[in-house]
């Protein structure tokens, strides 16, 4: 009888459970006599369903131990491919020790795969296998790993320092946990570490930590994707009625796209959403929606994410889309209960009611939760194909893209998605900062992105070829950046910029920046002593110029002499700012006048550099 068929009372389970790692238990692990239950399901009646035992070569974890993005195969730890008996026992012992430390299944699987890779390398050399784990053989393994490459987007690259470090940590885990095994002779590297062996030390390590590895989805990809996927949300009723498979899949993918983009959720958090799992709240005439799901990474239990209305629309559409799948799930659940298939009951109960159900035709149309791997490796790239883009779209890119857009919104730059990001402001940041039910790690991501963007803006101010205008602060910056002697006082121009910008606060006033850390509300960054206007604000000033020129055409009879005087004053203000920013205002005004006279749309008026 296999372990998966065993149903045990609590007393029986306690006597058969594999003991926690200690010196006595380690002796059993070394000689191969250690046995006991390692994974299980606790049933509603208090009994236990055994899934796997220590002595078995495959340890199966219950669905509840993985994230919502984890498929069935990813819940298995397979030791059968390790041919050497002692190496298999060491690998099991390290894995069991990590399990009792609370590591997630994904982390355990990664650790197992790295140990398998190391032992395969050992077995390829009789000399290395004979010597075991020593400083000498470890140095040879470092050379081997340094020569390895990986293929990314068709390009062959050396392994990253982070990947190397994880491989080298496997040797440290062996030394730490398996000193009692004959194979382990000495520490893999004296007076060093896995991090140092991988080159992650000193300034190089700091630079790697500070530099974001996740790309922001570029506007020329994101905007067409938004247009394409939004069109599917708009025609959801027709697609749901027609039940065309291809269209239904694209509708599902489009909904997932908008959930990822507008919430900052990870893929497993999107997959964890249930039908109707959101609420709304109005603050200062702005309606915020809160989506409820589970974050396996940072939370135990439910958490909430702030979202715009389009995200709740996506949830409702997905809820309607999976209605027939939910009905089949409930039929399968009744059948599993009737046949006392406790494992299947547990699996189905874990996914019931979720908005991302799918059917697996290769497994008798079994109802599963959509795989995170499927979404990232197939469905999201397919969306790019639909718009003719070769961008390698992946789920993790959305989180940083969300943070970047949200922060730009807070800084007054709504960018291309203003209809969906317009309610993200300092209010939202404050909500994340003070609400314990919201994703704290996402708040940190927002802050990190905010600092990056602010630093980029401030560095631009100090570049000689970047035109800026404004009050005393702008004039002072222009003086500093042209002072060659002052630059010499610092190690570099970048060091000088960092020293000066560190103490400059920044907040948006729409048509410029305010660097006053108090409550300045004049709204005139082009003349206020704390104000700065740069090239980012040119579209706003161009728009105001167009507005003034339209008003001027109304004439004295419509707006009076005082009105005309105010319009001319406004035009002079716009002309002054745009000229200071390096634009050919005369050419711009001629183009505006022609379009006004012809009654043409003036959106996107071309600004010409002087």
User: DSSP readout, 398-427?
Assistant: HHHHHHHHHHHHHTT--GGGHHHHTT-SHH
Predicted local distance difference test score (pLDDT) of residue 306: 83
Mean pLDDT, consecutive 10-residue stretches, the chain (610 aa), reads 69 93 93 96 91 96 81 91 96 95 88 96 89 94 94 83 93 95 94 87 50 79 95 96 90 97 90 94 81 72 82 97 97 95 91 95 90 91 96 90 80 61 52 61 77 84 89 88 72 74 80 80 83 90 90 81 91 94 92 82 47
Rg (CA), the chain: 31
Predicted local distance difference test score (pLDDT) of residue 212: 53
Cα(488)–Cα(71) distance, integer angstroms: 58
526: Cβ–Cβ under 8 A, 6 or more apart, which residues?
A: 469, 470, 471, 511, 512, 533, 573, 576, 577
Predicted local distance difference test score (pLDDT) of residue 430: 56
Predicted local distance difference test score (pLDDT) of residue 417: 64
Residue ranges of alpha helices (H) inside 101-134 are 105-123, 126-131
Handedness of CA 577, 582, 586, 587 (dihedral sign): negative
Exposed/middle/buried for residue 156 (C-beta within 10 Å: 0-12, 13-18, 19+): exposed
Predicted local distance difference test score (pLDDT) of residue 502: 73
Predicted local distance difference test score (pLDDT) of residue 357: 96
């Amino acid at each position: 009888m296999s372990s998966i068929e065993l149903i045990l009372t609590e007393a029986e389970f306690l006597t058969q459970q594999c003991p926690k790692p200690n010196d006595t238990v380690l002796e059993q692990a070394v000689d191969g006599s250690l046995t006991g239950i390692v994974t299980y399901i606790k049933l509603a009646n208090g009994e236990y369903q055994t899934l796997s035992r220590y002595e078995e070569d495959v340890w199966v974890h219950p669905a509840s131990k993985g994230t919502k993005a984890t498929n069935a195969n990813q819940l298995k730890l397979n030791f059968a491919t390790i041919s050497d008996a002692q190496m298999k026992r060491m690998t099991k012992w390290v894995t069991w020790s990590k399990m009792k430390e609370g590591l997630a299944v994904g982390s355990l699987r990664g650790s197992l795969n790295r140990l398998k890779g190391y032992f395969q390398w050992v077995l390829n050399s009789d000399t290395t296998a004979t010597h075991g784990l020593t400083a000498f053989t470890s140095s040879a393994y470092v050379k081997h790993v340094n020569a390895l490459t990986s293929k990314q987007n068709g390009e062959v690259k050396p392994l990253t320092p982070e990947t190397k470090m994880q491989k080298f940590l496997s040797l440290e885990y062996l030394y730490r946990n398996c000193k009692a095994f004959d194979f382990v002779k000495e520490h893999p590297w004296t007076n060093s570490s896995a991090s140092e062996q991988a080159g992650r030390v000193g300034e190089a390590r700091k630079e790697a930590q500070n530099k974001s590895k996740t790309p922001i989805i570029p506007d020329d990809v994101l905007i067409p994707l938004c247009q394409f996927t939004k069109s599917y949300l708009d025609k959801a009723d027709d697609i749901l009625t027609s039940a065309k498979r291809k269209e239904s899949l694209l509708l599902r993918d489009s909904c997932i796209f908008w959930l990822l983009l507008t919430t900052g959720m990870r893929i497993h958090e999107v997959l964890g959403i249930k039908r109707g799992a959101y609420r709304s709240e109005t603050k200062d005439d702005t309606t915020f929606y809160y989506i409820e799901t589970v974050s396996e990474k940072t939370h135990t239990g439910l958490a909430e994410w702030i979202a715009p209305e389009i995200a709740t629309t996506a949830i409702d559409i997905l809820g309607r889309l999976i209605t027939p799948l939910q009905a089949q799930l409930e039929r399968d659940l009744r059948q599993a209960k009737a046949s006392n298939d406790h494992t299947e009951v547990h699996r189905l109960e874990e996914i019931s009611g979720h908005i991302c159900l799918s059917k697996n035709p290769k497994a008798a149309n079994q109802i599963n939760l959509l795989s995170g791997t499927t979404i990232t490796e197939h469905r999201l790239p397919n969306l790019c194909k639909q718009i003719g883009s070769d961008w390698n779209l992946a789920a993790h890119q959305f989180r940083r893209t969300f943070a970047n857009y949200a922060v730009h919104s807070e800084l007054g730059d709504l960018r291309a998605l203003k209809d969906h990001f317009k309610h993200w402001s300092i209010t939202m940041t404050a909500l994340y900062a003070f609400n314990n039910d919201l994703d704290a790690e996402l708040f940190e991501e927002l802050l990190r992105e905010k600092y990056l963007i602010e630093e980029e803006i401030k560095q631009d101010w100090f570049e000689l070829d970047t035109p800026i205008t404004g009050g005393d602060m702008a004039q002072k910056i222009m003086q500093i950046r042209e002072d060659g002697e002052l630059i010499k006082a610092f190690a570099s121009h970048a060091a000088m910029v960092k020293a000066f910008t560190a103490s400059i606060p920044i907040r948006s006033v729409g048509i410029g920046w305010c660097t006053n850390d108090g409550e300045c509300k004049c709204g005139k960054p082009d003349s206020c002593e704390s104000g700065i206007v740069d090239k980012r604000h040119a579209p706003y000033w161009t728009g105001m110029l167009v507005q003034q020129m339209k008003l001027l055409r109304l004439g004295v009879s419509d707006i009076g002499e005082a009105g005309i005087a105010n319009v001319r004053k406004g035009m002079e203000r716009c002309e002054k700012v745009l000229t200071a920013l390096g634009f050919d205002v005369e050419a711009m005004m001629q183009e505006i006048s022609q379009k006004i006279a012809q009654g043409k749309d003036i959106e996107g008026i071309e600004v010409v550099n002087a």
